[in-house]
A = this chain, B = another copy of it.
Amino acid sequence: MHKTKGLLVVFSGPSGSGKGTVLAEVMKRYPDMEFSVSATTRAPREGEKDGVNYFFKTKEEFQDMVENGGFIEWAQFCENCYGTPRAYVESRLEQGKDVVLEIEVQGAMQVKEAFPDAVLIFNLPPSMQELESRLIGRNTEPIDVVNKRLATAKEELLVADRYDYVIVNDVVEYAAEKFLSILKSEKCKAERNISLLKEFK
């Protein structure tokens, strides 16, 4: 058998593109995939749980982890910090588990630099109009927060072409299927099967 490391998958997309819904569908079909829980300094939204949605940290706690190399990437976004704890991710990859990080674009570029084998997937809304109406329609936050999020979404969309793959989230089941096909396909890449190919030489 060829004991191979798991895939490190980065999944990004603007707020309102439905990343969470796609990932939930992916996890339903592929429960063995590991979901890396990020650390953040932002306040929990209603219903969010510590250790499930995020590890909620104070600014001081977060800063300590940064200084001790505890993150494989971290970034500031809408005045809050977000980071991916290193130890969890590296141990799971070594065990052969696929690990998905739901992070924003700055962090994604850091991961690609540190892990060139990582697979970067960008989640697109069906259209710009649809994204705007979703963000405005959410109505859970003040208008200046919504506007800031819209501006950020537009900035993020500008770098979608630096990702390996883009998925249009029109129908969540189709988007999830594309996500899973990308994983399966990446595992067939010749460069990920060097030790297997050696057996035939």
Chain A interfacial positions (CB closer than 8 Å to B): 121-122, 124, 127-128, 157-158, 160-168, 177-178, 180-182, 184-186, 188-191, 193-194, 196-197, 199-201
Select which of B165, B189, B197 is within 8 A of A160 by beta carbon: B197
- Bound together, the chains give a CA A7 to CA B189 distance in angstroms of 17
| Contacting pair B188 A158 (CB below 8 A) | no
| Contacting pair A161 B190 (CB below 8 A) | yes
Residue of B nearest to A131 (CB): B200
Select which of B127, B160, B162, B165 is within 8 A of A185 by beta carbon: B165
Residue of B nearest to A188 (CB): B165
Interface SS majority for chain A: helix
Across-interface contacts of A164 in B (CB, < 8 A): 189-190
Across-interface contacts of A178 in B (CB, < 8 A): 184-185, 188
Known contacts A165-B185, A181-B184; is A160 also within 8 Å of B199 by CB? no
Residue of B nearest to A128 (CB): B200
| Contacting pair B188 A184 (CB below 8 A) | no
- Bound together, the chains give a CA A197 to CA B201 distance in angstroms of 42
- Bound together, the chains give a CA A141 to CA B165 distance in angstroms of 46
Across-interface contacts of A196 in B (CB, < 8 A): 124, 166, 168
| Contacting pair A166 B197 (CB below 8 A) | yes
| Contacting pair B201 A188 (CB below 8 A) | no
Across-interface contacts of A189 in B (CB, < 8 A): 164-166
